[in-house]
Amino acid sequence: MTMAMAIPTTTEADLGRLLAWTSPAYPIGGFSYSHGIEMAVEQGLLRNRADLAGYIGAVLADGAAAVDGPLLAAAWRAAHARDEAALDAVAILGAAFRGTAETALESLQQGDSFARITQSAWPDARFAAFAARHPGRLAHAVTFGAAAGFCTLPLRAACYAYLSGFVANLVSAGVRLVPLGQTDGQIATAALVADVTRATDVALATSLDAMGSAAPMLDLFSMAHETQYTRLFRS
């Protein structure tokens, strides 16, 4: 007899929460970061829609998202299992896993804001205790994964939503900086759907011991941005 495999389903309530958490209206400050795009534009290396999609694709495959995805998954699993020690270990690793000062700020500031806002809107004693143990030192992906795990949102949906929100923020930055039209921004977003799916697949299959990034040019853009003469974004 063939056993049917249980497939986690995302309810309307789950979807509503994930849409809220990744909405530009969720006040965590994502609009203020370009993840190095501002410097890439300044140097003339990012000039059109194709360049923007390629840049964000590299972030997903080999940059910060290649770290954030596995961190989110590990935080979700630890929170879901109510394993405080494992969750704290993921938080410590996540806080350290950035190559530049600006990308660290980008992750930690949004993580701290996400923790405060989420606890206010969707209070959970376990999540509050976790956030209190790591004040100001929670990476956004870790905080998101922990919140999703504590309230049992489906892991794959949570990871895909987080990465999609990350892409949306970077596309928005590119639209303003290149500049591009809003339609070009949506075309770039559509072109990156397959990249988000691949990044989600990799995130769920990658252990913390095996995760890593290999995008030195992105780090160089970030480091150069720290001293950019005129800038609109914080990274």
Secondary structure (3-state) at 152: coil
Only one residue has tokens 């913390």, namely 208
Distances (CA, A) of 225 to 28, 54, 60, 153, 220: 21, 19, 20, 36, 8
pLDDT value for 8: 61
Structure tokens belonging to residue 201:
């697949």
pLDDT value for 2: 41
* Cα(6)–Cα(8) distance, integer angstroms: 6
* Cα(106)–Cα(34) distance, integer angstroms: 9
Q: Spell out the domain ranges in the chain.
A: 31-225
| 31-225 fold | Urease accessory protein UreF (1.10.4190)
Residue ranges in the chain whose pLDDT is less than 50? 1-6
CB 29 within 8 A of CB 109: yes
Close Cβ partners of 18 (under 8 Å, ≥ 6 residues apart):
10, 148, 153, 157, 158, 161
Helices (H), 7-81: 12-21, 37-42, 49-62, 64-80
Close Cβ partners of 166 (under 8 Å, ≥ 6 residues apart):
59, 65, 68
Longest Cα pair distance anywhere in the chain, in angstroms? 68
pLDDT value for 10: 79
**Torsion from C-alpha of 139, 132, 89, 9, nearest 10 degrees:** -70
Only one residue has tokens 């004040």, namely 135
Of the candidates 69, 100, 82, the one whose C-alpha atom is nearest the C-alpha of residue 217 is: 100
